[in-house]
Amino acid sequence: MIHLSQPAAAEIIRLKSRQKSPQGFFRLEVESIGCLGLSYITTFDEAPRIDDQIFDCRGVRVAIDPQSLTYLNGLTLDYSEDLMGGSFRFHNPNATQHCGCGISFSTTEE
């Protein structure tokens, strides 16, 4: 299971409204790239893939593939704005290290 804060859900809905298919899915993935080996990837998809897990979080349909879910289970996605702009914040209980960039991490599962 994953969680979206209210600000994160509102920002995803705002971004999704600008997409070609605003009824699509918010995809959250983990790829083997980045400073510490793993990075969060966020995109929008028109339809889920066959093996995706679908979560309905605060009105946002989130699609996660099974491999990524092993790294993302329990994740809370937040969004905040400051004088430099806005950004998503990933609070992942599975991450053992985080990079200063905010999107790269490592786990004991690697």
Taking only the tens of pLDDT, the chain with its 110 residues reads: 899 999 999 999 999 998 877 778 999 999 988 777 889 999 999 999 999 999 999 999 999 999 999 999 999 999 999 888 899 999 999 988 877 766 788 887 65
**End-to-end alpha carbon distance in the chain:** 20
Q: How far apart are CA 47 and CA 9, in angstroms?
A: 19
Print the domain residue range for 81: 3-106
CATH number for 23: 2.60.300.12
Q: How many domains does the chain have?
A: 1
